[in-house]
Amino acid sequence: MLFIKDKNKYSNIIKEYCNNINNEYLDNIISDSKSKLLVYCINGYFNENEIIGFIIYLKSLSKSINNYYILLCGINTEYRDYGYGNCLLTEFEKFIKLSKSKYRKKVILHSLDNTLNFYTNNNYIISDLTYKTIEKYEGKKTSGYYLIKYLY
């Protein structure tokens, strides 16, 4: 995975891989200076033509826990159903584990019904809590689930 400073440069890829998501939502996330973009390339090294997936996330610290909010996760439609989503999520978790911090680390995301099994199969658990950071972007949750996973 590679951290990209200029999300706007890759906005076309983000919108292409997430073509079922509201453009206004995508524009808000892409333009937010606090959100970070990580890209995943098929061969493990960076080449713009080989980006097959990405994660946009926010990091915050609360109550001695580093929270990593996944705001958006996308895989090129040509590479879906081949396990690359699992690879992307695993690499993101490795990236978090390698970050130096004395605090625990937690990944938080919002999942709809159609992606719930993907995340629960990757050991994410449903949380009954409300996450205002996610609601800031998505509004009040009307469907789906908040999921969390602690990383050690």
**For the chain, what is the radius of gyration of the CA atoms?**
15
pLDDT band at 40 (very low <50, low <70, confident <90, very high): very high
Q: Which of 34, 77, 33, 40 minimizes the C-alpha distance to 55?
A: 40
**What is the arithmetic mean of pLDDT over 21-50?**
91
What does the pLDDT read at residue 128? 95
Contact (Cβ atoms closer than 8 angstroms) between residue 60 and residue 73: no
- The answer to whether the predicted template modeling score (pTM) of the entire model surpasses 0.85 is yes
- SS3 assignment, position 25: helix
CA–CA gap between residue 124 and residue 2 (Å, rounded): 23
The band of 78, judged by pLDDT with boundaries at 50, 70 and 90, is: very high
Predicted pLDDT at 48: 86
Asked if the model's pLDDT at residue 34 lies above 80, the reply is yes
- Is the pLDDT confidence value at 44 over 80? no
Give me the chain's average pLDDT, please: 93
Q: What is the pLDDT of residues 5-21, one digit of tens each?
A: 899 999 999 999 999 89
Which residues face 126 on adjacent strands?
Answer: 147
Confidence at residue 114, expressed as pLDDT on a 0 to 100 scale: 92
Supply the pLDDT for residue 57: 97
Q: pLDDT band at residue 132, thresholds of 50, 70 and 90?
A: very high
pLDDT at 1 over 90: no
